[in-house]
Amino acid sequence: MTDSAPAPVADAPPENWVDTSAPAFARPFLRLARADRPIGTWLLLLPCWWSVALATEDWRNAWLLALFALGAIVMRGAGCTYNDIVDRDIDAAVARTRSRPLPSGAISLPAAWAFLVAQCLVGLAVLLALNAYAIWLGFASLALVAIYPFMKRLTDWPQIVLGLAFNWGALMGWAAVTGGLSLAPVALYLGAVFWTVGYDTIYAHQDREDDAIVGVRSSALRLGAATYKWMWLFYGAALLGFAAAGALAGLGILFWIGLAGAAAHLVRQIRRLDIDDPSLCLQLFRSNRDFGFILFAAIVAGQFL
């Protein structure tokens, strides 16, 4: 990296492609979109893929996986850009986030707004490639996206709103395949919401002390040491939702074998959790990508047998 290149963000993985390979002028924008931290894109995308697989008994609709992947990249970037615009003053007061592009001054506020608009236009193009039902369903998610950044100022449970917004793809995938909704994707969505409340509570423990100082609220602050007990509830409810989705969709035995493996992954997260170890909290949070792939494989296998 040259001396003129913007400094890396504090919580980005070391040696990520943005810091090592992207042009210096583009790095602040890529960091604003969290391209240096792709875990969020995976966590947004995987419920979409679960839902497409749940609705697809063959792979004539496999192209939707690629379409949702593009949509997840740009809309996760847009969501992070919007969140950082709203939270720029809070981020400046928190050690882990003050190196982000807006509070650090690497990007101006007008440039961030322009970048947000550009990402939303790409996301709109992806949405318009779907059927009419899915298009309107996609627009319905915008209210949740808009209010989420403000929830940490109003409630101890912003993770619930995040879960409702972040897992909308669990409904969208099914709608994109079938042109409607049914109980199976609703169960999948509810399970995914509890999953997000769980993993984002783990994530929030990284900022517990700073959040208390600046007056930001979270489930991590609300639960404290009781987090361990609540994680069994969050992840247990998630697994019940996923099981109900599989049963309603009539998935075969391989789904249940895969779901057992996914459950073991979540149990291991809870057993390893140390809320006073920020680096471990981040590691466990990131491991939810692996859980998502296990569940996706389980759904695909359950469709074929």
8 A C-beta contact, residue 39 and residue 16 = no
Q: What domains, with CATH codes, occur in the chain?
A: 26-304 (1.10.357.140)
Which tokens go with 124? 């709109």
Which tokens go with 23? 């042009």
What distance in Å separates the CA atoms of residue 275 and residue 268, rounded to the nearest whole number?
Answer: 15
Nearest to 128 by CA among 82, 186, 81, 176: 176
pLDDT-flagged residues of the chain (< 70): 1-14, 58-60, 210-211, 213-214
What distance in Å separates the CA atoms of residue 95 and residue 61, rounded to the nearest whole number?
Answer: 45
How many CB atoms neighbour CB 3 within 10 A?
A: 5
What distance in Å separates the CA atoms of residue 87 and residue 123, rounded to the nearest whole number?
Answer: 22
Q: What is the pLDDT of residue 122?
A: 94
Please state, in angstroms and as integers, the Cα–Cα distance from residue 88 to each residue in 79, 102, 127, 251, 284, following that order: 14, 6, 29, 45, 26
Nearest to 169 by CA among 122, 130, 125: 130
Tell me the one-letter amino acid at 159: Q
Nearest to 259 by CA among 242, 271, 244, 237: 242
Q: What is the pLDDT of residue 87?
A: 79
Q: What is the pLDDT of residue 1?
A: 40
Q: What is the pLDDT of residue 3?
A: 42
What distance in Å separates the CA atoms of residue 84 and residue 90, rounded to the nearest whole number?
Answer: 9
Question: What does R_g of the chain's alpha carbons equal in angstroms?
Answer: 19
Terminal alpha carbon distance of the chain: 51
DSSP string across the chain: --TTSPPPPTTSPTT-HHHHHS-TTTHHHHHHTTTT-THHHHHHHHHHHHHHHHH-SSSTTTHHHHHHHHHHHHHHHHHHHHHHHHTHHHHHTSTTTTTSHHHHTSS-HHHHHHHHHHHHHHHHHHHTTS-HHHHHHHHHTHHHHHHHHHHTTT-S-HHHHHHHHHTTHHHHHHHHHHSS--HHHHHHHHHHHHHHHHHHHHHHGGGHHHHHHHT---HHHHHGGGHHHHHHHHHHHHHHHHHHHHHHTT--HHHHHHHHHHHHHHHHHHHH--TT-HHHHHHHHHTHHHHHHHHHHHHHHHHH-
